[in-house]
Structures are given as C-alpha cells and as structure tokens.
Amino acid sequence: MAQQTHDVVVIGAGPGGYVAAIRAAQLGLSVACVDREKVLGGTCLRIGCIPSKALLESSEHYAAAKHDLKAHGVNVGEVTLDLPTMMKRKEAVVRQLTNGIASLFKKNKITAYEGRARIAGLGKVIVEGAERTEITAKHIILATGSKPATIKGVEFVADRIGSSTEALSYPEVPEHLVVIGAGYIGLELGSVWQRLGAKVTVLEYLDRILPGMDLETAREAEKVFKKQGIEFRLGSKVVGATVEGNKCTVVVEGSAPIVCDRVLVSVGRTPNTTDIGLETVNIVPDARGYIPIDGHFATAAPNIYAIGDIVRGPMLAHKAEEEGVACAEHIAGGYGHVNYDCIPGIVYTHPEIATVGKSEEQLTEAGIAYRKGVFPFMANGRAKALAQTDGRVKILADAKTDRVLGVHIIGPRAGDLIAEAVAAMEFGASSEDIARTCHAHPTLAEVMKEAALAVAGREIHM
C-alpha cells in the first residue's frame, strides 16, 4: 500500500471540497483532495447545477424561437429541435468546467487522488483506487455531498423512473413527464422538458410549491408556471410508481393513477455519510444522516471537519463553497466565518426566483415587526423592452431600524439581481440605503430601488 503525507486531506471534490482544498493550499498547506469520480467538480459540475443551467439556457432559446421572436419582428421559419446537439453542448460545458478544476488543482499544487476514500482512524484516510493509498494528514475535511432521496414505494427503474441525473439526459422529449416534488429540481428540470414540448405534471405533497420560500413569492411563481402550461397537483402524496415497457404508472393517495412516459423523483437529497469510515473515529450522524458540527465545522472527532450538504443548512453549492473557505481559514489561522443570514437561493426557471434572508412567515413567527415594499417588473422600462414583465421585487425591512431583513424576487434575471440585496444585507444596509443608491436607467435593477422606495411608500413609477 502506498503511503502519503499531507497537512490536509479533503474527501470530495465538489464545490465544498475543491474550494476548501484551493483555499487551504493558498494558505500554504500541503493539500490532497480525493474523489471517487475521475471528473472533478462533484454533483454541481457533473450532474447538477452546471448541466441543468446549460439545458435551461438551450431550452429557453428554443422556446423563445418558437413562441417569442415573432413579436420582436424576427421570423425564423420552422423551428425544430436537435436534442442530441443540445445534449452535446451541455456535455461540452461540463467538460470545460471540470477540466478547469483539474487545472486549478495543478496551479495550486493540490494532489488529486481518484478512488473511494474512507477514514481509518484519526489523521488517516485510505483511498481505494487503481492502487490502495494510505494518506496521513493532520486535518481531514469531509465534503462528500448528497444523493437523490427516494420515497417509499417508488424505486428508480433505469431512466424511466429516475432522479435529476437521468432527467439531464433523456434520449427523447417525453410526451408526458411526471415530476414528484415541486422544489428546486422539479421546477427547473420540469421547465426544461415543458419548453421542449413535454406535458409536465408536478405532484407535490404540500399545498404549495417551493417549501421554505416566502409564500407570497411562491404563489406568484405557481401562477406564472401554470400560465406556461405546467400542471400542478398540490396536496398529492405519491405512494407508488411502476414501469411496464415504456410506460410508467404513478400512484397518488386518494386519486386515480397517472400514466406517463417518465418520472422525475425530486423530493430532496440525502447526505452521503455512510461508508466513509465515520465509525472508526466515533462520529455519529443524526437521524437524517447529517454530521453534527460546531460553529467551526469541527465534528466530534479531533481535527476532522465537515462542510456542505452533509451538515445542517441549505444544500446549495455556494453555501458549501463559503464553508470550504471558512473551514480552511480556520484550520490555517484559527478563524473563519460564514454569514448564514446572507445566503441567497435561486431557482433558475423563467422567470427566475431569487431570495435572501427572512420570509414574511419567518418574521411573523419570530414576532419581528417589518415594513414591506413591493414593486412589479410590469412598471419597469427595461422589463417592457425585454417583454419579460412577469414578477416583482419584495423587500422586507425592520419596522424600527429599517434594516433589510429579506428580499424576494421573481422576475427576469432575478438570480443576478439578488446579488445587490445580498451585498446590501452583508453590509447591514437599510431599505433607505438601497433607495438612495443611484441605479442606472434603464435596468431591471431599478425595480430593486423602487421596491426599496416602496418600503416608505414613496415609489416613483407606480
């Protein structure tokens, strides 16, 4: 067995792990990063954020060419779909970015190991790859990510009943796609296939979509998606699904079974915390599989840290990245910090939905008095020019101090617009600070300014 020694070994090369590795290397530590996949980047780059965004972009172009360009005076003749080319482009985007991480590792002198890593006691990791390697390291960072969750009665069957991984690569457009779960994945990938021509039915257990998100914003989103042709059946508990030939049958409690071509199960994700040797160092995951940590990502075992999807908080790539940086800085210098109040969440549908901070429901529950400013994209010149006027910006500010506590956007490029709100909140801004900041005209960002003005009831263009 080969023996290697490093200061830090990171298990997992997703956004949490690879960023932690780079930051630790920048701080002068000798770093190893292990991943069982040949391709670096984890779920996000290989089978998550990046390929889904590539398909969202392509399918948006297709839908625009088919339905929207005419209104701009652009006639393109018959619009046809070349799905293999769309998929090839998606794969090329993934390839470029995953190769990019390999180059970053090289530049930062990080040693990448390919193989399955397991902790084998304090300061010891065994990698089972082409050869067996024992890595000795003072610090171990666990960043093993998550996998799609399943529900009782629904087993994955090839690519007929599957997760987002399969839905990123269907060989043809399903005639009827049933999506189980109206969360991030269900809405994004449901949108992709709906735009490409599938009938999409979303079955959601709760009486609302996007649980956890500001309710008013989620209801507005539901209306917009319905208008686009996505069918929602809320309050639907899926209890079974089967495949016969090319057809799937989905069983919903209390209503007739639904027959369709493919089923996308998007009911959340489960932390990857089994089979990584936690028992050798007495780390016990909680009932849902998460690894308990303290405020500095330290687990119950000395010098073993955990970040990203395997610890509490939202399962988001950028949250994992922030934790990776803070964890590496803590190891190298004793200090690292993540502001969990300022982590944005974005659903990359059309229009996009983006939020940061507290929802109205959370503020009410916490007994915090707030003022609310809302401004619609309908009254914004740039949105009109883009012909994308669905949606609004909502700013929630503390009733006494005017400090911005939450911003919720549904509308064109909401995912980019939210950055202003995140920066404002990070600096402890008041809604008046945003309202008094000059926003260029004509831009979508003016809706943010108007919503901030609306907190004090003095919006200009309404």
Residues found near ligand NAI in the complex (CB under 6 A): 151, 180-186, 188, 203-206, 211, 236-238, 266-269, 314-316, 346-348
Cβ nearer to ligand NAI, comparing 188 with 390: 188
CA nearest neighbour of 233 among 254, 264, 261, 202: 202
Q: Cβ of 132: how many Cβ atoms within 10 Å?
A: 11
Q: Are strands 31-35 and 111-114 parallel, antiparallel or unpaired?
A: parallel
Least gap, CB of 349 to ligand NAI (angstroms): 9
Q: How far apart are CA 187 and CA 185, in angstroms?
A: 5
Least gap, CB of 107 to ligand NAI (angstroms): 27
Cβ nearer to ligand NAI, comparing 308 with 373: 308
Residue of closest CB approach to ligand NAI? 183
Q: How far apart are CA 379 and CA 389, in angstroms?
A: 8
Least gap, CB of 372 to ligand NAI (angstroms): 25
Cβ nearer to ligand NAI, comparing 10 with 267: 267
Catalytic: 441?
Answer: yes
Cβ nearer to ligand NAI, comparing 318 with 372: 318
CA nearest neighbour of 170 among 259, 61, 64, 248: 248
264 φ/ψ angles, rounded to the nearest 5 degrees: -105, 120
Catalytic-labelled residue, pool 67, 337, 441, 461:
441
Least gap, CB of 261 to ligand NAI (angstroms): 19
The two tokens of residue 427 are 């600096």
Q: How far apart are CA 435 and CA 451, in angstroms?
A: 8
The one-letter amino acid code at 49 reads C
Cβ nearer to ligand NAI, comparing 179 with 435: 179
Least gap, CB of 164 to ligand NAI (angstroms): 7
28 φ/ψ angles, rounded to the nearest 5 degrees: 95, 5
Cβ neighbourhood burial of 313 (10 Å; 0-12, 13-18, 19+): middle
Q: How far apart are CA 421 and CA 127, in angstroms?
A: 43
Residues annotated catalytic, as ranges: 441
